[in-house]
Amino acid sequence: MAELATVARPYAEALFRVAQTGSMSSWSAVASELGQIGAHPDVLAFAGNPNVTHSQVAETIAYLVKSPLSDEAKNFIVMLAENGRISLLPEIAAQFVALKNASEGAADAAIYSAFELSDEQLAQLVATLEQKFGRKLNPTVTVDSSLIGGVRVVVGDEVLDTSVRAKLQQMHVALAS
């Protein structure tokens, strides 16, 4: 949804600029929580209820955030509530992470493995992937038994699939043609 991303961009950039002057890690935690809260259907229904005031929406969202909130964070929530932009929170959080990763020269890596990876295996895999992709990676591991064996890695729009399932599909295509 390009429109949603376009509307969320100025909010994410403003949040990122404020985070650069303070603690990036605490702002990252707050942005992540706000994204999760804003994605919840009950929160969206509450925020969209005409019988609920903007201040009630802001207070409720601030109450739901487990991380400590600075005055700037509270003001950010109030501003979003007053402008009816609570539904943008997931997109704002996603764009905030993208801005943070870009400033750090890092990227998120979704790693799908056929089996559970030990900490040592994950560290070795991430080190190899960082060399391949040429940047620091923030891995998220998901077990997907349908891969049969191996891993599938998604970094941005790049995919590295070394799974047995992918190799079998390649063999099937080669034999069928």
Query: For residue 21, how many C-alpha atoms fall within 13 Å in the half-sphere facing its CB?
Result: 7
Instruction: Give the confidence band of 71 by pLDDT, cuts at 50, 70, 90.
Output: very high
At residue 1, does pLDDT exceed 90?
Answer: no
Query: What pLDDT score was predicted for residue 2?
Result: 57
Report the predicted TM-score, pTM, of the whole model to 2 decimal places: 0.75
* Of 98, 126, 133, the residue nearest 111 (C-alpha): 126
Average pLDDT across the chain, whole number: 93
Instruction: Give the confidence band of 20 by pLDDT, cuts at 50, 70, 90.
Output: very high
List all residues 6 or more positions away from 168 whose beta carbon is below 8 Å from its beta carbon: 148
Q: What is the mean pLDDT of residues 17-27?
A: 92
Query: What pLDDT score was predicted for residue 75?
Result: 96
Decide which of 45 and 2 is more confident. Answer: 45
Neighbours of 55 (CB within 10 A): 11
At residue 157, does pLDDT exceed 90?
Answer: no
